Structure 1
Amino acid sequence: IDMEVIHKEFVPPGQTVNAVFYVEILTRLRKRIAHVRPAIVNNWRLHHDNAPSHTAFRVVEYLAQHKVAMLPQPPYSSDLAPPDFFLFPRIKSTLKGKHHASVEALQEAVTRELNSIPVQVFPEAYENWKTRWRQCVDAEGHYFEKV
């Protein structure tokens, strides 16, 4: 399995991430997948948390229309999605204590960090994700101590 960050977006200052905006992001994500992974464009899964913008009818309808399977996200399991336990902590630890002169400079630093993640660590993150899922299933969706 090829594993890498294939798409990232920054929310513009002042933009609320609502269902309409999220569908726009998903549309761009689908186009990116079609470009870099055409073999899976009609057969991929999305794992996101239960934020209102992610669970809105408009989003669920969009994903259904485009045959994107959503992986369930139990309540109280905020660290189940890979960005929450793998990407965001990695970026935060790298950028912690550093000053950036502008939003653009910060975005460039984040982009550099995402692009510098060695491909070898993605399978480990995937295994970590599967372990977290097993723990969640074993706990029947209730709170459990982190991995």
Structure 2
Amino acid sequence: MLCVWWNIDGPVHWELLPRGSTINAALYCDQLRRVAAVLKAKYPDLNYPVVFLHDNARPHVAQATKTVLGELGWDVLPHPPYSPDLAPSDFHLFLSLSSALSGISFNDEAELENWLRQWFASKDRAFYRRGIGKLVERWTEVVNNGGEYIGT
């Protein structure tokens, strides 16, 4: 399982979980702390809160996660249930990644990690900015449609 955190500049942090792994609140909280450390190193002069978007999966809405997000001081955007149309990772990043992976197989995890590293690096900042920009457009469309699902 690939877990990715990204912004308008590109991937902030990503990690591959071992085959068969599932994400629970404890693991997700550990991941958020790792992301926060990377953000702090990458943007040491950041003087405004991180605006964070994730969906309503159980680990994302668990009390432990809410506590960690509060400790980090991150603002969390509300995300309506069952709304992949408002998840840039779904409608932009993973859609493109899935297309690029079509027909490719890997001999081992190291080969996959190397391919992912190269794929992320091959995308320019405009790619990531476009994905986040689409979120603004889609959010506006959902609001204008009374909260109805808009599709991809």
Q: Is TM (by shorter chain) over 0.5?
A: yes
Aligned residue number for residue 39 of structure 2: 33
Q: Which stretches of structure 1, 4 residues or longer, exceed 6 Å deviation after superposition?
A: none
Q: Aligned pair 1:88/2:94, yes or no?
A: yes
Aligned residue number for residue 57 of structure 1: 63
1:38 aligns to what SS in structure 2?
coil
Give the stretch that moved more between structures: 7-16 or 88-97: 7-16
Aligned residue number for residue 110 of structure 2: 104
Q: Aligned pair 1:3/2:32, yes or no?
A: no
**Could you list the per-position Cα deviations for residues 56-102 of structure 1 after superposition, in whole angstroms to 9, with x for gaps in the alignment?**
11001110122111111111212312111111111111111011111
Change (3 A) 1:85 1:2: closer
User: Number of aligned pairs?
Assistant: 146
Code of the residue aligned with 2:38 in structure 1: it is R
Query: Given that residues 30 and 41 in structure 1 are in contact (C-alpha distance below 8 angstroms), is that contact kept between their aligned partners in structure 2?
Result: no
Aligned residue number for residue 143 of structure 1: 149
Give the stretch that moved more between structures: 28-37 or 122-131: 122-131
Once residues 88 and 110 of structure 1 are traced to their aligned partners in structure 2, the CA distance between those partners, rounded to angstroms, is 12
Once residues 32 and 13 of structure 2 are traced to their aligned partners in structure 1, the CA distance between those partners, rounded to angstroms, is 10
Aligned residue number for residue 84 of structure 2: 78
> Displacement of 1:126 after TM fit?
2.2
1:40 aligns to what SS in structure 2?
coil
> Displacement of 1:42 after TM fit?
5.7
2:35 aligns to what SS in structure 1?
helix
Query: Given that residues 5 and 114 in structure 1 are in contact (C-alpha distance below 8 angstroms), is that contact kept between their aligned partners in structure 2?
Result: yes
Query: Given that residues 11 and 120 in structure 2 are in contact (C-alpha distance below 8 angstroms), is that contact kept between their aligned partners in structure 1?
Result: yes
RMSD: 1.8
Once residues 73 and 116 of structure 1 are traced to their aligned partners in structure 2, the CA distance between those partners, rounded to angstroms, is 29
- TM-score w.r.t. the length of structure 1 is 0.90
Give the stretch that moved more between structures: 125-134 or 18-27: 125-134
Instruction: Give unpaired runs (5+ residues) of structure 2.
Output: 1-6
Structure 1 or 2: larger strand share?
2
Once residues 63 and 41 of structure 1 are traced to their aligned partners in structure 2, the CA distance between those partners, rounded to angstroms, is 17
- Give aligned-pair identity as a percent: 29
Aligned residue number for residue 3 of structure 2: none
Q: Aligned pair 1:22/2:28, yes or no?
A: yes
> Displacement of 1:20 after TM fit?
0.1
1:39 aligns to what SS in structure 2?
coil
> Displacement of 1:41 after TM fit?
7.1
- TM-score w.r.t. the length of structure 2 is 0.87
